[in-house]
Amino acid sequence: MTPVSLIEGTAAPFGQPNVDTDVIMPKRFLKTVTRAGLADGVFADLRFQADGSEAPDFILNRPDYRGAQILVVGDNFGCGSSREHAVWGLAQLGVKVLLGTTFAGIFFDNCRRNGLLAVTLDSATRDALLARVADPAQAQLTVDLPLQEIRAPGLRAGFDIEPARKQDLLTGADPIAQTLTHAESIRRFEAEAFAAAPWRRIVVG
């Protein structure tokens, strides 16, 4: 995973609530055995017209917001299907930060695993950012993970982040390698759990 630290770039306003992962990555892009080649799938039904050409009005197709690395998003972003393809695609499109209020749990964890910084803000702060970046002249933001703040001329907004998630994002951690340092604990846990509750020991037939 690529470490995340300081992101400076264009922020696009995308404030509709309950944007689900079917919309972020439609099903026709899911029949793949690799993680690659998903950038074209992101918001495909919104970004492209039936003939394959770009939908001119879609926010990420507008010249001011094309290539935005930061999206300011609506409540409950990433709800629905667990498909990590949605996060792979966003990252491949160049999106590095999502500024929102609440994120669906699986999507939120998928972001962490892929070095995509999902920032949870209170509604007032998010709404102010949405209003600000709707003006292309004010859409340049700096998101500073080490200092936990969002900056722009005349703006400085702090954000909270769980220390472990921050650390993982900053270091580009390999969580599986970290867990395997606890291999002895896992073995002991399994032995004790299955002694106490043998019906939890599954050997699928």
Partner 1 sequence: MTAPRTLYRKLVDAHTVQRLSDDEVLLGIDLHIMNEYTSPQAFSGLADSQRPVWRPGAHLAVVSHVNATRRNGPGDDDAALLIRTLEDNCRTHGIACYSLKDARQGIEHVVVPEQGLARPGMAIACGDSHTTTYGAFGALGFGIGTSEVEHVLATQTLVYTPLKDFRIVIDGPLPLGVTAKDLAIRAVAEVRAGGANGYAVEFAGAAIEALDIAGRMTVCNMAVELGARAALMAPNQAVTDFLKGKPQAPTGAEWDAARAAWQGLASDPDAIFDREIVIDAATIAPQVTWGTSPDQAVAVGGTVPDPATEPTPARRAAAERSLAYMGLAAGQPVAEIAIDRAFIGSCTNSRIEDLRAAAAVLRGRHVSANVAAVVVPGSNLVRKAAEAEGLDKVFRDAGFEWRPAAGCSMCLAMNDDVAKPGERLASSTNRNFEGRQGQGARTHLMSPAMVAAAAVAGRLADVRNFPPLS
Tell me if 87 contacts partner 1 by CB under 8 A: yes
Residues 106-125 that bind partner 1 (CB under 8 A): 106, 109-110, 113-114
| 137 scored as a contact of partner 1 (CB under 8 A) | no
Q: Which stretch binds partner 1 (CB under 8 A): 4-12, 51-59, 152-160, 162-170?
A: 162-170
Q: Which is nearer to partner 1, 154 or 181 (CB)?
A: 181
171 sits near partner 1 (criterion: CB under 8 A): no
**Which long-range contacts (C-beta less than 8 Å, at least 24 apart) are formed by 114-119?**
114/1, 114/84, 114/87, 114/88, 115/1, 115/2, 115/3, 115/4, 115/91, 115/169, 115/172, 116/87, 116/90, 116/91, 117/4, 117/7, 117/143, 117/145, 117/169, 119/143, 119/150, 119/159, 119/161
* Residues 26-65 interacting with partner 1 (rule: CB under 8 A): 26-27, 30-35, 45
Binding of partner 1 at residue 74 (CB under 8 A)?
yes
Nearer to partner 1, 124 or 153 (CB): 124
Under rule CB under 8 A, residue 149 binds partner 1: no
Q: Does 23 bind partner 1 (CB under 8 A)?
A: yes
- Chain residues binding partner 1 by CB under 8 A are 15-18, 20, 22-23, 26-27, 30-35, 45, 74-76, 79-84, 87, 102-106, 109-110, 113-114, 162-164, 175-176, 178-180, 182-183, 185-186, 189-190, 193, 197-205
